Structure 1
Amino acid sequence: MNKKISPALIYFFGAFGGFMFGYDIGIINGALPGIKTTWNINPWLEGLITSGLFAGAMVGASLMATLADCFGRRKMIMWSAIVFAIGALGSGISGSTSFLIVSRIILGVAVGGASALVPMYMGEISPAETRGKLSGLNQLMITVGMLIAYGVNYAFVHVFEGWRWMLGGAIVPAMVLLFGAFLLPESPRFLVRIGKNELARQVLKTLRSSEEAESEYKSIINSSHSDSGTFKDLFGKRALPAVVAGCGLTLLQQIQGANTIFYYSSQILEKVFGSAIGGVVSTVGIGVVFVLATIITLLIVDKFKRRSLFMSGSIGMGACLLLVGLIYPAAQSNHAWATWAVFFFICLYVIFYAYSWAAVTWIVVGELFPSNVRGLATGIASTVNWFGNILVALFFPVLLQTVGLSVIFFGFAAICVLGFLFAKYVLYETKGKSLEEIETYLDNRSAGKVVGLD
């Protein structure tokens, strides 16, 4: 173990998988208009091209997270980077919509893997008192990746078949992650599970003070479950509350309207501002707002209870979506005030989403699960996340054409109410607790000793 590696560098590359995730979320936003020009695709095919990524991500999330329990977090992060590069190259050179969809599915395997592996890895190497901030680096990387993608979209919007450069450019972050993965240490909790206790202690000493490392090492040793969990364990009294909480969070994150904005904002705002370039430029503005809001979130996230952030975020998001739905018809009638009001409330929605369901979901997913099923459960939660992605990406173009944007946003506002109720009545609090304390809570809960964690 190289003790000279900076902890900051470890955290940076540990979270960099989120950049790949964010880049591909953002890049399809600008690539779709060019793809439609090249092949004159219909709304269903547009949805298939967008959702092909998420179909692959469902496979990647469950597969790579499960394999991480066998082969380690670091090694599977490396494989995610390699698969991502292959999918990016295939997307850029696609000669048909079928080839593009297949390439997007391959790309999705890597994106799904990263979406499961990064929260798991960051949760396991971060100290309890700052785990929200450090695990939230994943979300910051996602937002930065999206912003860079929006910038690339703008740079290539007028280039002939510029969408090929947009999609193929994803090979660059894949190579950065592959390089960075060679510098990453393995998760100390995984090392203890496979019997490499001394190496686990060395890893902790690179990330903590000597006293903190020794204390955390003893805690891991005392609570470690060396056996690997099975699907049967997921539905046992001990793990089931965590699985329900994790899957509920990741599904609700996707179906409260955010991905409608992040995947299709160029098209939505093109209708609002009356031009394609207006849609692209305003989307860059949304990306800037998202990054700034996420940075502020990382500074404050460990000061507030996770459940409070989720609940207040759902209220704000629902109100913004309701107002956008009400104002949008006036914007379509070219009323200037309505045009800017729609843009303002979409940006405000992004702020509410950034500090709650965007950042905190993946922080909590890295905290919720018992150690013996963490990889398996994280993979399932991430798979549910991508299933929600598929629903939004596949059906939004068709719904936009049939029922209109206002009705869609009213529906998302109603789902935000469900998000509030879920956070209030189903989710248990994890702020400031070590992973071992959370695991002890689940043990006590299964024995009927406690009903909450505050």
Structure 2
Amino acid sequence: MAVAQDETVLAIQEEEKTSKAMTKASLLESVEAGLEITDDMKNSVFQIIDELKEEYEKDASKKVSAAGVFRNPKRFMWFLAIFASIGGFLYGIDISLISGALLFMKVDLNLDTSQQSLVSSGMSLGGVAGALISMPVNELVGRKYSIIVACILCTVGAILEAAAHDYGTMVAGRLILGAGVGLEAMTIPTYISECSQKRRRGGIVSLYQVLITFGILAGYVVNAIFVKVPGNWRFMMGSSLLFSTILLVSALFFPESPRWLMRKGRRVDAYATWLAVRGFDVEEEKIEFAIMEEVVIAEREASKDRFLYLDFIRIPHCRRAAIHGILMMVFQQFSGNNSMTYFLGTMYERAGLSAENSVYISMLGGGTMFWSTIPAIYLMDRFGRRPLLLILVPGVVAGLIITGFSFYAPTTTSLIVVYTIGVVSYYAFWGSALGPTPWVMNSEIYPTYIRSYGMSLGTLSNFLGNWITTYAFLQMLDAMTKPGTYIGFYGGITVIGWFYFLFFTPETKNLTLEEIKAVFSKTWIEIAKHNMEDFRYHWNKFWHKRRAQGMDEQAQTVSP
């Protein structure tokens, strides 16, 4: 009798398990097909979440550190976003510090032009190494501890830079610092994206870019503060120690990414993190968690015993996502931003300003970049990724044209004025378009099981492009002339980029990370066709609205 009862209980449990699996599979199929989620599916999901809650409450060790301070998940999410984005600040300040420090360092260390180029671009070259190690480090220790490793590398690199007494030590410091920056540049946008709500993801990831530009501005300010201090460039280069330490301490209180935890089979841990950063108060969060679990587990099983980088070749939606992610970074870097930023002080010195005045005026460009990036936090999720690129990138091209033509100015004063106008115009449009959008899209377009791999490819493309344009910049000015470099090279590539954004950049606004897969499941022709239909729709809407306004104004003019 007891045996029969046990068999009955086991049969019921097995039936419930099968029913739940079918429910989650049906839920995922409905989402991918764009169908409405039924009440039966929702009720089954709610039951699964309740069971997870009971399991979570039995184990007090699952509590997420710092979550108790922020009982509201929204506040906790902003805590994570702000402190994680300090990594962006660290990236930015290390970009611009060299602009002022190089003016004095080259004298103390007797650097020739080639050595100056390698010192300036050394951080980018180290970033290439950081991008290469970012995938295995992320897969091995997770997002949280990857950030901690990056902070340690940044700290060691900054110490070597500040203490350098020869060219070799300085290059070593720049390479180690760059490796840390490359690792955190891949990890932090991925981490924030995997923790964020779909309707806030673009803005929160854009915060990372805002902090990069704020760091660039801060670097110019730090340079100005120490410019008259003996050994000024050592204080400039060593100042980033403060911020790598702040990020290191903050990261100790970060939870791990729920999607990474789910991929590692730590289901209750994933629930605990989701509860802290997202909450389960609304059914949307419960459903997204269930979909996330099903997608991650399915992808984990499908990826076993495979060399996952090959998925970027053999699986169509992964291949299209990789191509798009790499091209976004290429167009960002070959728009000339880092060439301007790294050598802003040098260009002003070449235009005729003293080293000190070159440091001071560089703050104007850094300030413009920072303020122009802030709107992206709001605009990215309101208007979308693609519209920002189409509207603002022509302004980037205009800034490059003005900057290039400034070198035809007849006097030093007019050259500096026109050059400054060009730089300010460039940064004003670049800040909310080519600055944050490539990072946002790279953080969201890859399936969970290869997101680390995809982001490592994007970050590698970013730092490789950064290094190429920075290392070759001084030589490009001589070979192509200054107008040819700014207008012909950077301007021409940016124009090509605009047409790519018009035809082949899909919109990912307000989609979950799991829903974006369907976007890249379309062929390039289907994406281009959809984009042109969308462009025509909005253009006709804009044109008819302008005509209606014109007719109203005309009627008001002729009326008595």
TM-score range, shorter chain: over 0.9
Cα offset, 1:449, TM superposition: 8.9
Consecutive unaligned residues of structure 1, counting only runs of 5 or more, are none
Report if aligned partners of 1:13, 1:184 keep a CA contact under 8 Å in 2. Answer: no
- Report what 1:226 is aligned to: 300
1:51-90 mapped onto 2 (5 Å cutoff): 51-90=121-160
- Report what 1:261 is aligned to: 340
User: How many Å separate the matches in 2 of 1:313 and 1:448?
Assistant: 25
Matched residue type, 1:276:
A
User: How many Å separate the matches in 2 of 1:424 and 1:391?
Assistant: 26
- Give TM-score, length-normalised by structure 2: 0.77
User: How many Å separate the matches in 1 of 2:85 and 2:287?
Assistant: 25
- SS of the residue 1:286 aligns to: helix
- Report what 1:350 is aligned to: 427
- SS of the residue 2:510 aligns to: coil
- Report what 1:319 is aligned to: 398
Consecutive unaligned residues of structure 2, counting only runs of 5 or more, are 1-63, 71-75, 535-560
- Report what 1:305 is aligned to: 384
- 2:162 equivalent among 92, 112, 115: 92
- Report what 2:501 is aligned to: 423
Closer/same/farther in 2, CA of residues 401 and 157 from structure 1, 3 Å limit: farther
Cα offset, 1:422, TM superposition: 1.9
Cα offset, 1:275, TM superposition: 2.6
- Report what 1:288 is aligned to: 367
Cα offset, 1:262, TM superposition: 0.8
Does residue 1:188 correspond to 2:188, yes or no? no
Cα offset, 1:242, TM superposition: 0.4
- SS of the residue 2:434 aligns to: helix
- 2:287 equivalent among 205, 208, 215: 215
- 2:490 equivalent among 375, 392, 412: 412
Cα offset, 1:65, TM superposition: 3.0
Larger deviation, residues 135-144 vs 203-212:
203-212
- 2:440 equivalent among 350, 359, 363: 363
Report if aligned partners of 1:270, 1:277 keep a CA contact under 8 Å in 2. Answer: no
Matched residue type, 2:412:
N
Cα offset, 1:73, TM superposition: 0.6
Deviations 1:224-258 (A, max 9, x none): 22245611112122310000000111111111111
- Report what 2:324 is aligned to: 245
Closer/same/farther in 2, CA of residues 272 and 140 from structure 1, 3 Å limit: same
User: How many Å separate the matches in 1 of 2:519 and 2:381?
Assistant: 20
| Count of residue pairs brought into register by the alignment | 451
Larger deviation, residues 267-276 vs 316-325:
267-276
Deviations 1:390-449 (A, max 9, x none): 11111112223454322211121111111112212232221111101012334x437999
Report if aligned partners of 2:124, 2:466 keep a CA contact under 8 Å in 1. Answer: yes
Report if aligned partners of 1:62, 1:383 keep a CA contact under 8 Å in 2. Answer: yes
- Report what 1:151 is aligned to: 221
Cα offset, 1:122, TM superposition: 1.2
Larger deviation, residues 270-279 vs 188-197:
270-279
- Report what 2:518 is aligned to: 440
Matched residue type, 1:344:
I
Cα offset, 1:369, TM superposition: 0.9
- Report what 1:126 is aligned to: 196
Report if aligned partners of 2:336, 2:490 keep a CA contact under 8 Å in 1. Answer: yes
Q: Larger C-alpha radius of gyration, 1 or 2? A: 2
Report if aligned partners of 1:43, 1:398 keep a CA contact under 8 Å in 2. Answer: no
Cα offset, 1:279, TM superposition: 1.8
Q: Calculate the aligned-residue CA RMSD, in Å.
A: 2.0
Quick one: higher RCO (CA 8 Å, sep 6+), 1 or 2?
1
Cα offset, 1:66, TM superposition: 3.3
Closer/same/farther in 2, CA of residues 350 and 59 from structure 1, 3 Å limit: same
Matched residue type, 1:234:
F
Larger deviation, residues 63-72 vs 370-379:
63-72
- SS of the residue 1:159 aligns to: coil
Q: Identity percentage over the alignment?
A: 26
Closer/same/farther in 2, CA of residues 95 and 255 from structure 1, 3 Å limit: same
